């Protein structure tokens, strides 16, 4: 358990999150304008998005499907009948003066997501997933007197994913968001790009001492990265502990996270209107879906992360850490699987994680642009397994593959990198070496163990690094007895 | 009885401003209206399902697809006030600065 | 030539085909009539240029024998419908400068059938009212005068007062209106016209400035039932841009006008007829109507809508609630009236814009709507009203197991003076007493002139039929029309 150590004792974190995930549809949820991350303001706004008089919403099927698939991925209950409600409040980036959301009857309820924490596996309960419209963007910092409103984002479909307050530390929360993001990417319902804002996270934070009832919670908004989730929660929890320990009350309020100074502060405008007067939107009818559709969508789901990790551990013998790294991005997992049956999967995993990632990062290349195909990498691994090249030489081959995209066998032959494993040749080189360095031999036999490395090094030099290191070691040991 | 306090509260929620005298009148008028509406209390209706729409149908779903293009040229033609020109120029709606 | 404005649509179409006169001549005659009667204030915007242009096209089409259903027929459009390039104000200061660059589906449809738009008619602000005395553009006056007090201007009814006044004063051959709680039927009754509200969902609400979304329907004013059938055929139809639009074929309605009601079972809620407070003249008209229908072979059956006494209350919860939300978009930010002074905060701008842009009846209803939706009262009022709505809907459903149409008066009284009935908002709301129950149930209803008061003012009868059964309400209305043909429903002096 993670605690805050206050003046009066240990304090628990009690955290729930609300994630707003933009749905990967081409058009908005209730209007046929584009959802692209656009360059020029108000260029993707239809009359419906601008809430012109007489405009009406029509529901995008794709958005409904994505919510169902997300619900299935979260092992939740899919409500075959759900209803859109209006959430009424005034804000300049909300053209209608209400947001179309789902309050009373959301499309998905009661799911869960497993995360791994330092104390083991933990089940985080999902209260609901519902569909709602995104608002436009308000730009406050371009002018001292005015705010500018861009409605490009207004009306984009969102899935709001709400957890129970099951998270007990900033790290757990970060892990949950990471896991959720990975799941959404696998399902394809959201691209999870927090930088672009297609996935946003609000945190509800309260603190309590062990055994005490739940404290008052504050909602923190405006968190745009996983790192900031941790910073925001950390600051807020400590702020609350300090307040309480100083005899003050935590006020239930919405606070904004300031990424520059790592603090949360009260949000003035939204404090007033808490009565949203939710009522069913009379421009829309109940969303009724069939169990057949749900079953069909379930079949369409790809293998989800947890299942994949399990399979990598069981079928490929990977350890959990490597499995998790590979699975974190489904393109990488796909890459791995393309080669995993052609060579030792554990070694392949290692090459991908340590070497491939390293090279991709170094040259800022995406996996899709990489010249090394999975099959090529697998072939190289096989060559190592067969003993034709050493691990060290393999690194050279690998770099050449990365640069040129040539097959490993080609590179090895052209550069004459085949490992020397001929015992006779190696023996002869070693014999020569030992004869030419009698003092070192005597010194070694007298106890200077470090000289072994010198002998190995010399053999390597003589063979341009191509000698099979294990054989060299064996032979040297024999001959030095 | 709708009090002036309640009138004040509702008017804040819905962004309407009234003078003291108007609020007094409104409190009276709204009370009259609510008195008429209170006949609804005669019925219990616990078991009845609320009727949101007379349409005995379900929501039709539209195929995902972009049909509306850049109409930013048309969005600003009905602006009034002295910010209208600025808004048309920067293609953003202009409001007094919002303080969060 | 000025007599041609007295033609019905059917007569005019025949005459135009016959080249008795041209569409342009017909349009000009109407424009002249409009000029003569500016005092009625029926129109907010007159669109002479557009009208003449379309009349020209109509003449071409008649020449080529490619005329459409309503080719060249001059009509008026309630200012609630967004019309491309033409002011669409909803009778409000809030939209007094709003020129949409899109067209409502219904006004587009009638245009596509060849109709010629003369202008946009005056109305109660945001369709809230039953006397057309809340418009930013001033009151509409009815062309009718009471026999005992001819100097007193009368209301045409509301909210579609301008449309009603226009058609009854021959300023248009038909007019589009909207009906939420009676806004077509009640003014039709007051002005001696046929007024029709189709089944909820039959006409698209796309481009109709929203008042109460689950109740609003486009409707129409005509001088005969046959004209009404023609107009409805062109207005109704599925629209994929409206989620509440019905995907059902538009039936051929004109034949309903010649169909007898022989053997038809027609329901009368005698319990309502026996209530206190209904004017004797209304009762007489009701009884006369029953006789007309019986004479034509219909069977009159006593039915009951037991929960109708709660309808007014339920309506005045649901409609303002939906309106309070629908009108939240009027904030001056993207269009419409904007009240802004230097140094104002965003909150002040919202409040000043809305307080100055909306009239007092609209504000009253927004306040009621906000109140009944607020968290403390949600269950007691909004949810309760929705339950009553289901009960009323079920009452009608049960009644329609026994009968094919129901008749009851459109209004509890004749038209009243413009300055009367202003003491208490509830008194005004009582005008909708008879029209509200079928509105809540979304049923098609026709108001047809069926009698005259002792003051020589018209009284209307409402014919309600089953969901999607516009045919039968027209059928019964046409029979009533035939039975009342000895009464002239033309205002004196017109």
Distance CA C267, CA C395 (A): 13
Sign of CA dihedral A287, A292, A294, A300: negative
Give dist(CA A327, CA A307) in Å, integer. 10
Task: Kindly state the tokens that stand for A84.
Answer: 């859109």
DSSP string, A438-476: HHHHHHHHTT-TTHHHHHHHHHHHHTTT-B-HHHHHHHH
Rounded to the nearest angstrom, the minimum Cα separation between A48 and chain C is 10
Other residues' Cβ atoms within 10 Å of the Cβ of residue C68:
15
Q: What per-residue confidence (pLDDT) applies to A80? A: 98
DSSP sequence for A422-439: -HHHHHHHHHHHHHH-HH
Sign of CA dihedral A450, A454, A455, A460: positive
Q: Cβ B45–C372 below 8 Å, yes or no?
A: no
Given an 8 Å threshold on Cβ–Cβ distance, is A40 in contact with B61? Answer: no
Nearest to C260 by CA among C301, C300, C297: C297
CA distance A314 to chain B (A): 40
Tokens linked to A422: 């001929």
Q: Is B90 helix (H, G, I), strand (E, B) or coil?
A: helix
| Interface-testing mutation among B66, B87, B91, with chain A (most A C-beta atoms within 10 A) | B66
| A57 has a chain C CB within 8 A of its CB | yes
Query: What is the pLDDT at residue C458?
Result: 97
Span C412-416, average pLDDT: 91
Kindly write down the DSSP assignment for every residue of A22-71, as one continuous string. E---SB-SSS-BB-S--SSTTSS--TTTTT-TT----EEHHHHHHHHHHH
| Burial call A87-113: b when 16+ CB within 10 Å, e when fewer | bbbbbbbbbbbbbbbbbebbbbbbbeb
Residues 6+ apart with CB under 8 A from A450: none
Confidence (pLDDT) at A270: 47
The helix/strand/coil state of A195 is coil
Three-state DSSP at C136 gives: coil
CA C389, CA C312: separation in Å to the nearest integer? 10
Please list the pLDDT of chain A residue by residue as tens digits (481 residues).
788 888 888 999 999 999 999 999 999 999 999 999 877 999 999 999 999 999 999 999 999 999 999 999 999 999 999 999 999 999 999 999 999 999 999 999 999 999 988 888 999 999 999 999 999 999 988 898 899 999 999 999 999 999 999 999 999 999 999 999 999 999 999 999 999 999 999 999 999 998 899 999 999 998 989 999 999 999 999 999 999 999 999 988 899 999 999 999 988 644 455 799 999 999 999 999 999 999 999 999 999 999 999 999 999 999 989 999 999 988 999 999 999 999 999 999 999 999 999 999 999 989 989 999 999 999 999 988 887 887 888 888 899 899 899 998 888 888 878 888 888 888 998 899 889 988 888 898 888 888 888 888 998 888 888 888 888 899 888 888 7
Please give the full DSSP string across A231-244, using - where no structure is assigned: HHHHHHHHHHHHHH
Share of residues in chain C with pLDDT > 90 (%): 92
Cβ-Cβ pairs closer than 8 A, B with C, add up to: 165
The predicted model gives B26-33 an average pLDDT of 94
CA distance A258 to chain B (A): 12
Closest Cα to residue C368, out of B10, A264, A347, B90?
B10
CB C257 within 8 A of CB C474: yes
Distance CA A451, CA B17 (A): 93
**Nearest-by-Cβ selection for B59 from A45, A59, A273:** A59
**Residue B100 scores a pLDDT above 80:** no
Interatomic CA distance for residues C246 and C205, integer angstroms: 11
Residue in B15, B64, B90 nearest the CB of A60: B64
User: What is the rounded end-to-end Cα distance, in angstroms, of chain A?
Assistant: 56
Residues of A in contact with B17 (CB under 8 A): none
In the set C22, C23, C78, C453, the catalytic residue is C78
Quote the Cα angle for A277-C242-B71, to 5°: 95
Among residues C481, C435, C490, C485, the alpha carbon closest in space to that of C457 is found at: C490
On chain C, the residues whose CB falls within 8 A of the CB of A92 are: 331, 333, 346
Mean pLDDT of C134-163: 96
> What's the pLDDT at A271?
47
Average pLDDT, integer, range C98-113: 98
**Active site residue: C89, C160, C168, C183, which one?**
C183
Write down the H helix ranges in C403-469: 425-429, 436-441
Give the number of beta-carbon pairs within 8 Å between A and C: 94
C493 dihedral zone (left: phi>0; alpha: psi -120 to 50; beta): left
What domains sit in chain A, N to C, each tagged with a CATH number? 3-294 (no CATH), 305-408 (no CATH), 423-480 (1.10.10.410)
Mean confidence (pLDDT) of chain C: 95
Which residues of chain C does B31 touch, with a Cβ-Cβ cutoff of 8 Å? none
Max Cα distance, chain B (Å): 59
Using the beta-carbon criterion (under 8 Å), do B65 and A46 form an inter-chain contact?
A: no
Cβ within 8 Å, pair A138-B98: yes
User: How many CB atoms sit inside 10 A of residue C292's CB?
Assistant: 20
**Cβ contacts of C155 within 8 Å, gap of 6 or more:** C131, C132, C133, C139, C140, C141, C142, C161, C190, C415, C416, C417, C418
| Closest CA–CA distance from residue B75 to any residue of chain A (Å) | 8
Q: Which residues of C222-239 are buried (b: 16+ CB within 10 A; e: fewer)?
A: bbbbbbbbbbbbbbbbbb
Residue recorded with tokens 């032979």: A475
pLDDT at position C1: 63
Q: Residue A268: what pLDDT?
A: 62
> What's the distance, CA A156 to chain centroid?
23
3-class DSSP state of C68: coil
- The predicted complex's ipTM stands at 0.96
The rounded distance, in Å, linking the Cα atoms of C42 and C179 is 18
Q: C462 - beta bridge partners?
A: C408, C447
Query: What is the C-alpha radius of gyration for chain C, rounded to an integer number of angstroms?
Result: 21
Mean pLDDT of C424-435: 83
Among candidates C104, C214, C370 on the partner chain, residue whose Cβ is nearest the Cβ of A54: C104
Write out chain C residues lying below 8 Å of A283, CB-based.
Answer: 210, 213, 243-244
Of B59, B64, B86, the CB nearest to A287: B59
Q: Do A279 and C209 touch (CB under 8 A)?
A: no
Q: What is the pLDDT of residue A390?
A: 79
C328 is catalytic: no
With 0-12 / 13-18 / 19 or more C-beta atoms within 10 angstroms meaning exposed / middle / buried, residue C58 is: buried
Active site residue C183: yes
Alpha-carbon span A85 to A105, nearest angstrom: 9
CA distance A98 to A87: 5
> Does residue C362 have a cis peptide bond before it, meaning omega lies within 30 degrees of 0?
no
Name the active-site residue from C22, C107, C159, C324: C159
What gap in Å lies between CA C489 and CA A228, rounded to an integer?
Answer: 75
Say which of A45, A60, A92 has its CB closest to residue B75.
A45
Residues in chain A within 8 Å Cβ distance of B61: 59-61, 64
Chain C closest-CA separation from residue A52 CA (Å): 8
Asked if C309 lies within 8 A of B39 by C-beta distance, the reply is yes
How many CB atoms sit inside 10 A of residue C449's CB? Answer: 27
């Amino acid at each position: 358990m993670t605690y805050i150590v206050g003046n009066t004792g240990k304090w628990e974190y009690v955290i729930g999150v609300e994630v707003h995930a933009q749905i990967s549809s081409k058009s908005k949820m209730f209007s046929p304008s584009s959802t692209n991350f656009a360059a020029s303001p108000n260029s993707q706004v239809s009359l419906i998005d601008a809430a012109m008089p007489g405009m009406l919403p029509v529901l995008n099927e794709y958005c409904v499907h994505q919510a169902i698939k997300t619900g299935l991925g979260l092992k939740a209950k899919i409500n075959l009948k759900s209803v859109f409600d209006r959430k009424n409040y005034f804000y300049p980036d909300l053209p209608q003066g209400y947001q179309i959301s789902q309050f009373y009857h959301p499309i998905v309820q009661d799911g869960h997501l497993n995360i791994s924490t330092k104390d083991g596996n933990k089940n985080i309960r999902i209260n609901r997933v519902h569909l709602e419209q995104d608002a436009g963007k308000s730009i406050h910092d371009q002018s001292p007197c005015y705010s500018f409103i861009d409605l490009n984002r207004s009306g984009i479909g969102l899935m709001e994913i709400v957890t129970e307050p099951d998270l007990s530390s900033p790290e757990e929360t970060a892990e949950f968001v990471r896991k959720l993001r990975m799941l959404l990417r696998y399902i394809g319902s959201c691209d999870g790009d927090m930088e672009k804002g297609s996935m946003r996270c609000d945190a509800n934070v309260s603190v309590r001492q062990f055994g005490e009832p739940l404290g008052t919670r504050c909602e923190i908004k405006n968190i745009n990265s996983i790192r900031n989730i941790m910073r925001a929660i950390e600051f807020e929890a400590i702020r609350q502990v300090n307040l309480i320990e100083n005899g003050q009350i935590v006020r239930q309020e919405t606070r904004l996270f300031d990424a520059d100074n790592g603090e949360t502060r009260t949000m003035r405008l939204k404090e007033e209107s808490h009565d949203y007067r939710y009522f069913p939107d009379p421009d829309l009818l109940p969303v009724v879906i069939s169990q057949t559709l749900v079953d069909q969508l379930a079949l369409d789901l790809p293998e989800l992360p947890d299942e994949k990790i399990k399979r990598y551990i069981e079928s490929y013998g990977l350890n959990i850490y490597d499995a998790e790294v590979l699975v974190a991005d489904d393109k990488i997992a796909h890459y791995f699987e393309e080669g995993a049956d052609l060579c030792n999967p554990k070694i392949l995993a290692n090459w991908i994680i340590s070497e491939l990632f390293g090279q991709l990062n170094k040259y800022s290349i995406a996996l899709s642009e990489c010249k090394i195909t999975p099959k090529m990498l697998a072939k190289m691994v096989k060559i190592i397994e067969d003993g034709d090249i050493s691990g060290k030489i393999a690194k050279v081959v690998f770099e050449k593959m990365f640069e040129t995209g040539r097959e490993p066998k080609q590179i090895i032959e052209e550069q004459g990198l085949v490992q020397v494993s001929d015992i006779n040749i190696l023996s002869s080189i070693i014999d020569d070496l030992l004869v030419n360095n009698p003092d070192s031999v005597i010194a070694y036999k007298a106890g200077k163990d470090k000289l072994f490395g010198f002998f190995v090094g010399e053999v390597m030099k003589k063979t341009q690094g191509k000698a099979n290191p294990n054989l060299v070691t064996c032979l040297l040991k024999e001959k030095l007895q | 009885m709708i009090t002036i306090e309640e009138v004040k509260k509702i008017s804040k929620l819905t962004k309407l401003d009234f003078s003291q005298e108007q609020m007094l009148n409104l409190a009276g008028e709204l009370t009259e209206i609510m008195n008429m509406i209170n006949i609804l209390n005669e019925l219990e209706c616990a078991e009845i399902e609320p009727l949101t729409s007379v349409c005995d149908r379900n929501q039709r779903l539209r195929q995902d697809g972009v049909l509306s293009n850049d109409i930013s040229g048309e969005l600003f033609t009905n602006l009034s006030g002295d910010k209208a020109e600025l808004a048309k120029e920067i293609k953003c709606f202009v409001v007094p600065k919002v303080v969060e | 030539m000025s007599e041609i404005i007295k033609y019905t649509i059917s007569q005019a179409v025949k005459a135009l085909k016959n080249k008795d006169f041209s569409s342009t001549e017909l349009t000009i005659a109407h424009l002249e009539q409009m000029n003569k009667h500016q005092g009625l204030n029926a129109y907010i915007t007159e669109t002479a240029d557009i009208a003449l242009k379309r009349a020209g096209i109509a003449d071409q089409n008649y020449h080529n024998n490619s005329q459409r259903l309503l080719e060249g027929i001059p009509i008026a459009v309630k200012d609630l419908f967004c019309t491309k390039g033409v002011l669409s104000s909803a009778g409000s200061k809030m939209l007094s400068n709003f020129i949409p660059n899109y067209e409502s589906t219904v006004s587009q449809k009638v245009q596509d059938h060849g109709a010629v738009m003369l202008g946009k008619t005056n109305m109660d602000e945001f369709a809230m009212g039953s006397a057309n005395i809340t418009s930013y553009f001033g009151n509409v006056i009815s062309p009718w005068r009471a026999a005992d007090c001819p100097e007193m201007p009368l209301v045409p009814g509301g909210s579609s007062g301008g449309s009603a006044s226009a058609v009854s004063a021959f300023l248009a051959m038909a007019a589009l209106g909207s009906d939420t709680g009676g806004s077509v039927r009640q003014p039709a009754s007051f002005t001696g016209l046929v007024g029709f509200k189709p089944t909820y969902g039959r006409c698209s609400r796309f481009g109709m400035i929203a008042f109460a979304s689950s109740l609003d329907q486009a409707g129409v004013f005509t001088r005969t039932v046959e004209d009404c059938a023609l107009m409805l055929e062109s207005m109704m139809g599925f629209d994929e841009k409206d989620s509440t639009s019905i995907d059902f074929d538009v039936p051929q309605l004109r034949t309903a006008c010649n169909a007898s009601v022989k053997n038809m079972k027609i329901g009368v809620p005698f319990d309502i007829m026996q209530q206190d407070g209904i004017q004797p003249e209304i009762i007489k008209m009701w009884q006369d109507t029953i006789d007309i229908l019986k004479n034509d072979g219909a069977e009159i059956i006593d039915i009951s809508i037991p929960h109708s006494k709660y309808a007014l209350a339920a309506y005045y919860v649901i409609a303002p609630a939906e309106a309070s939300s629908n009108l939240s978009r009027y904030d001056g930010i993207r269009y419409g009236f904007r009240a802004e002074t230097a140094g104002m905060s965003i909150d002040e701008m919202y409040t000043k814009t809305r307080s100055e842009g909306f009239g007092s009846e609209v504000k009253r209803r927004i306040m009621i709507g906000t109140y009944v939706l607020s968290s403390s009262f949600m269950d007691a009022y909004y949810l309760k009203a929705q339950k009553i709505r289901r009960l009323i809907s079920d009452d009608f459903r049960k009644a329609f197991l026994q009968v094919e149409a129901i008749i009851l008066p459109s209004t509890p009284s004749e038209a009243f003076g413009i300055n009367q009935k202003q003491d208490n908002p509830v008194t005004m709301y009582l005008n909708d007493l008879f029209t509200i129950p079928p509105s809540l149930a979304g049923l098609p209803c026709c108001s047809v002139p069926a009698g005259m008061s002792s003051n020589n003012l018209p009284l209307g009868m409402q014919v309600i039929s089953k969901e999607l059964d516009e045919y039968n309400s027209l059928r019964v209305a046409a029979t009533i029309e035939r039975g009342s043909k000895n009464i002239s429903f033309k205002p004196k002096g017109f």
